[in-house]
Amino acid sequence: MDLKQTAISLAMMTFVLSSMIGMGLGLRLNEIVAPLRNWRLVAQGLLANFVVMPLAAVGIAKLMRLDESMFIGLLLLGAAGGAPFLPKLAQIAKGNLAFAVGLMVLLMVITVGYLPVVMPMLLPGVSVSPAQIAKSLTLLMLLPLSGALAVNANWPAMAAKIKPALDRTSNISLIALIGLLTLLNLRSVMAVFGTGGIFAGVAFLAVGYAVGWVLGGPGADTRAVMGLGTAQRNIAAALVVANQSFDDPNVVVMVVVVAIVGLLTLMPLARALGRRAPAVMTSVG
């Protein structure tokens, strides 16, 4: 791994770990599970993330006549739900934070089994390693979140004292990650201009947000979370599969391009939603 990828990986790991631990220190398990008891809302989230988004990737790629490598990159993102950025976006948008964490964990766990099944079906000859995907997601997300939830359940005073430092680390590392992804991949991103890749990424994100919003239930707080959570894909899982299963570097480039476009569009969108949201939307019950 070169220095550029090391820097990006370090920033991403720092952000994901600090976000998961910080979120866990501020929530209790019942607050995460309770929103997921709405089976209709959960089913609509699964429909949006694992049926509509892969189909949207295929449709947009055909409509834009993307080359094979960009199509594969977009399809990987379409099949990878459970972005670790979702709780941060939900927090900024003043959406239902507990629902965001619960939805993220649910989508992330399903992605582990879904990606290895759906990719060979849509791309014959492709093989992915579910064990590698599961290891990455478990170590970086599930275990830190579980540990932080346990700390908050048993030592709430300690959790309250530690959480602000984790929140600051999360914010700083997210800014660093956006900067690194943009600056260190600038040449690759510029090369995508003229191919339709960037426009395809924007269209993909727009479809994701619109579908998530429509299927997000009657509450404005859950609609915001579902919209953001469907548009923002699991970049880490997509990159793991792209690096392991494809020799063409343009597959990774397409994933990175959509990641950059997503961060640069969804963050301002989340801030706009947060400014319009009433205080009640911050509830996690």
Least Cα distance to 107 among 226, 220, 271, 251 occurs for 226
**pTM higher than the cut 0.85:** no
Q: What pLDDT is attached to residue 145? A: 85
Read off the pLDDT of residues 7-34 as tens digits, 9 standing for 90 and up.
877 887 888 888 889 888 988 888 778 7
Least Cα distance to 49 among 71, 78, 75, 83 occurs for 78
Q: What pLDDT is attached to residue 127? A: 67
Read off the pLDDT of residues 110-132 as tens digits, 9 standing for 90 and up.
888 888 888 888 887 666 677 77
**pLDDT above 70: percentage of residues in the chain:** 92
* Statement: residue 160 has pLDDT above 90: yes
| DSSP for 20-58, written as a single string | HHHHHHT--HHHHHGGGG-HHHHHHHHHIIIIIHHHHHH
Residue carrying the six token digits 């809302």: 41
Question: What's the mean pLDDT when you consider all of the chain?
Answer: 85
Max distance between CA atoms of the chain, in angstroms, equals 56
Most confident of 41-50, 262-271, 276-285: 41-50
* Statement: residue 100 has pLDDT above 80: yes
Most confident of 28-37, 83-92, 178-187: 83-92
Read off the pLDDT of residues 193-216 as tens digits, 9 standing for 90 and up.
667 788 899 999 999 999 999 999
Q: What pLDDT is attached to residue 284? A: 38
Residues 87, 104: Cα–Cα separation, whole Å:
8
| DSSP for 266-278, written as a single string | HHHHHHHHHHHS-
| DSSP for 193-228, written as a single string | TTTTHHHHHHHHHHHHHHHHHHTS-S-HHHHHHHHH
Q: What pLDDT is attached to residue 285? A: 37
Buried b (16+ CB within 10 A) or exposed e, 251-263: bbbbbbbbbbbbb
Contact 94, 274 (CB under 8 A): yes
What number is the average pLDDT over the span 248-256? Answer: 80
Check the CA dihedral 199-205-208-213 and report its sign.
Answer: negative
Q: What pLDDT is attached to residue 20? A: 83
Q: What pLDDT is attached to residue 238? A: 84
- CA distances, 70 to each of 129, 173, 177, 199 (Å): 21, 28, 22, 12
CA dihedral (5, 67, 110, 182) in degrees, to 10, reads 30
* Statement: residue 282 has pLDDT above 70: no
